[in-house]
Chains A and B, each alone.
Chain A
């Protein structure tokens, strides 16, 4: 037996011998299912490429994203500047590569804020029920009642421009759908017999929410988050475009599009290239999210 087929057999073992093996095996089965989905793999490849670009930007970018060479301004794509230059003679390829870092940071920070808030509020509301549920869900409804971009703009305006504030503004507007989703899942789970069994054994509410409700909500919430990534990136870009997010000279993709707006007819690439980057990454997250939903959706199994 080769090492490869050996580790495969270990992961797919019918009778795992330890907690770790059982958990890894479960992940591996999910991974195999994901591998079968071509579109999801394309999405994953795009997301991985985004991460690689962001991490490796300092080494693979041919120029500094901030160096202005005014004689080379608005150059057509060439061997020296693969994706051309902008109005201040900065290399667009380098700016897009560094921009990936910012996109990744935004995506990661928004997830880190939205996931716990949405899951926590939703799981508690759904499990506890009664007036707690009513209060938490009315709060959620208030946030849901406003158009997302408008509210993000309002928060960004109130907090002042800047990436950190843009992240906070987006997170504040993004959590309500997650709370709704987690609550819906929690409502179906709270009546199940394994929750009754845990209660009968004397489990506290906190333990039940943490060890039964949250793990069962989390997969659908993660899927939803992946599908929402495109929206988050677009909102961040929108805020950047409107001057409420990242500030020049930061190479944020939305800001790059805004910068190229003036030359869209004569020097199309200045706005189009970062626009394409936003499009491709959004598409990547969407495809990956669809694939993850197919793998994780417990109703599908």
Chain B
């Protein structure tokens, strides 16, 4: 469903040129959940945004659903992959009601049945009709993230791109959002590409995980290998050690 072939992305020119992503290749099958893990500046979010069509690759190619996908796309191509962002405070326009936030993608994509689709999308993410005409500042962080998920889902995408969707949330809210995301993934048969710095979150959501360091993938593991802590690369091991999960022994 997603195929990256030696993808490179750089910003700036000459001496200021920064190679954010260097020759990254991977493929995610339809219905699979793939995770990109790494620290800030490793290029994981840049890859996600390039797949979403926000950045133009400087080398290599991106194919979505078998077709090449550059930065210039048709509306139908845009609809294919939707994204949920990290910061639920910055990803919703503060002057729009939830209703308008959800109506806009329908208007852009020319989808009808607005009156039935919006309540259905809200119900799907666990929000009621009472939330429909609220402004983002009247919602909690978790509720905002639910609205952001509804906005992504309302155009019926086949690929869901998750950019640290729970790192700005409290632990108890994170659990609710993660459960919601896996339920939606299963019921819609979505292909998921998730980016996070948190190994535990990635391991919970994804079946295959690529570890990124300085713009390159250093290692790709199956989740079972990660659970056994059978990491080959030293950097992956230092990431594992930094989660301090063993500080609290499993009960």
Asked whether A201 lies within 8 Å of B109 as measured between CB atoms, the reply is yes
Does A61 sit at the interface, judged by CB under 8 A?
A: no
Closest to A215 in B: B95
- Could you tell me which residues of chain A, from 202 to 218, have a CB within 8 Å of some CB in chain B? 202-203, 207, 211-212, 215-216
Indicate with 1 or 0, residue by residue over A249-285, a CB within 8 angstroms of chain B CB atoms. 0000000000000000000000000000000000000
CA–CA, A215 to B94, complex, Å?
A: 10
Q: Given A22-B134, A26-B135, verify A197-B85 contact (CB < 8 Å).
A: yes
Asked whether B85 lies within 8 Å of A212 as measured between CB atoms, the reply is no
Asked whether B53 lies within 8 Å of A200 as measured between CB atoms, the reply is yes
Name A207's contact: one of B53, B108, B137 (CB within 8 Å): B108
Q: Given A201-B82, A201-B109, A201-B155, verify A16-B134 contact (CB < 8 Å).
A: yes
Chain A interface main SS type:
helix
Q: Given A194-B92, A197-B151, A215-B95, verify A15-B82 contact (CB < 8 Å).
A: no
Does A130 sit at the interface, judged by CB under 8 A?
A: no
Does B90 sit at the interface, judged by CB under 8 A?
A: yes
Name A15's contact: one of B95, B104, B133, B137 (CB within 8 Å): B133
Name B99's contact: one of A19, A194, A200 (CB within 8 Å): A19
Q: Given A16-B134, A22-B97, A22-B134, verify A194-B53 contact (CB < 8 Å).
A: no
Asked whether A198 lies within 8 Å of B85 as measured between CB atoms, the reply is no
B215 CB to closest chain A CB (Å) equals 21
Q: Given A15-B130, A18-B133, verify A194-B97 contact (CB < 8 Å).
A: no
- Could you tell me which residues of chain B, from 42 to 96, have a CB within 8 Å of some CB in chain A? 49, 52-54, 73-75, 78-79, 81-83, 85-87, 90-95
Indicate with 1 or 0, residue by residue over A11-22, a CB within 8 angstroms of chain B CB atoms. 000111111011
CA–CA, A42 to B223, complex, Å?
A: 67
Does A196 sit at the interface, judged by CB under 8 A?
A: yes
Asked whether B108 lies within 8 Å of A194 as measured between CB atoms, the reply is no
A141 CB to closest chain B CB (Å) equals 26
Does B141 sit at the interface, judged by CB under 8 A?
A: no
Name A16's contact: one of B49, B52, B133, B151 (CB within 8 Å): B133
Residues of B within 8 A of A193 (CB): 85-87, 90-91
Residues of A within 8 A of B94 (CB): 216, 298
Residues of A within 8 A of B100 (CB): 19
Of the listed residues A16, A17, A202, the one surrounded by the most CB atoms of chain B closer than 10 A to its CB is: A202
B170 CB to closest chain A CB (Å) equals 20
Asked whether A198 lies within 8 Å of B83 as measured between CB atoms, the reply is no
Does A192 sit at the interface, judged by CB under 8 A?
A: yes
Asked whether B78 lies within 8 Å of A17 as measured between CB atoms, the reply is no
CA–CA, A198 to B54, complex, Å?
A: 11
Q: Given A193-B90, A215-B95, verify A200-B104 contact (CB < 8 Å).
A: no
CA–CA, A194 to B95, complex, Å?
A: 11
Q: Can you give 26 contacting A-B residue pairs, CB < 8 Å?
A: A14-B138, A15-B131, A15-B134, A16-B133, A19-B97, A19-B99, A22-B97, A22-B135, A23-B97, A194-B93, A194-B101, A196-B49, A196-B52, A196-B83, A197-B85, A199-B53, A199-B54, A200-B54, A200-B78, A200-B81, A200-B83, A201-B78, A201-B105, A202-B75, A203-B108, A215-B95
